């Protein structure tokens, strides 16, 4: 849903561009409101737009034979949806689902290609971000194979909090089970354990982080690796 009034550029990829490049890029963007569970891309389909979340966040999901999906990436105000265009491909490799409603900046793929071609600073910034995404995808694959559900859930909640910029956010057990590729009973058991340890509070689909440091300790090392990769590559 496009907005009638412009919103400030709080997406960190755009904010990092030199002033002249940033203003030109923003002129080609449309501020929109993303709705929870909205589908922005499907595997194998051509992408008509790229998205730069400002206070929303998007889940990147891969699936097998319609058996549900597993989250392999999360995009918030640190990134963008549509990195395949940086590689010259306009087909989405993953399903993109809005996990946190809110604002985003949208640009048509045609306009984005023109900006990418005309702006070396944008190229450099997005190539660094693409490296971060590749690292995150690889780390998520390792995490899903080797780590317990409770540690994976803690990592997921920390990543969500980082992008929601709030201690409280919406996430049902069913949705978390789909994102982590596990049975709902596994999420319920893991969330109950975290709640008993007073790390989180869960009530009717709303999760509140009570003890950030404790949740980091409960998470696997993949969360720290993700953060280190971003800081080394982007900052």
Phi, psi of 147 (to 5 degrees): -105, 150
Give dist(CA 101, CA 51) in Å, integer: 13
pLDDT of residue 2: 54
pLDDT of residue 181: 85
Q: Mean pLDDT per segment of 10 residues, for the chain of length 235 residues?
A: 53 95 95 95 96 95 74 93 94 94 96 96 95 89 89 95 92 86 92 96 92 95 88 78
Domains parsed from the chain with CATH numbers: 12-116 (2.60.120.10), 144-234 (1.10.10.10)
pLDDT of residue 67: 61
Tell me the whole-structure pTM to 2 decimals: 0.89
pLDDT of residue 68: 65
């Amino acid at each position: 849903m496009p907005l009638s009034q412009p919103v400030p550029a709080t997406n960190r990829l755009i904010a990092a561009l030199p002033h002249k490049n940033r203003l030109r890029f923003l002129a080609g963007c449309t501020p929109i409101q993303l709705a929870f569970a909205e589908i922005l891309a499907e595997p194998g389909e051509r992408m008509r737009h790229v998205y730069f979340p400002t206070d929303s966040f998007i889940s990147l999901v891969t699936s097998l034979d319609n058996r549900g999906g597993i989250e392999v990436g999360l995009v918030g105000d640190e990134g963008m949806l549509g990195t395949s265009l940086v590689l010259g491909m306009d087909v989405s490799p993953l399903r993109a689902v809005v996990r946190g409603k809110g604002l985003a900046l949208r640009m048509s793929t045609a306009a984005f290609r023109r900006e990418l071609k005309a702006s070396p600073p944008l190229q450099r910034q997005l190539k660094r971000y693409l490296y971060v995404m590749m690292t995150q995808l690889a780390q998520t694959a390792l995490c899903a194979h080797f780590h317990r559900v409770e540690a994976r859930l803690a990592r997921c909640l920390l990543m969500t909090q980082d992008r929601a910029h709030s201690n409280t956010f919406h996430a049902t057990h069913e949705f978390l089970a789909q994102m982590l590729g596990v049975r709902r009973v596994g999420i319920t058991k893991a969330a109950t354990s975290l709640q008993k340890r007073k790390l989180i509070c869960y009530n009717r689909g709303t999760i509140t982080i009570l003890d950030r440091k404790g949740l980091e300790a409960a998470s696997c090392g993949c969360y720290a690796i993700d953060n280190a990769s971003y800081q080394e590559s982007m900052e």
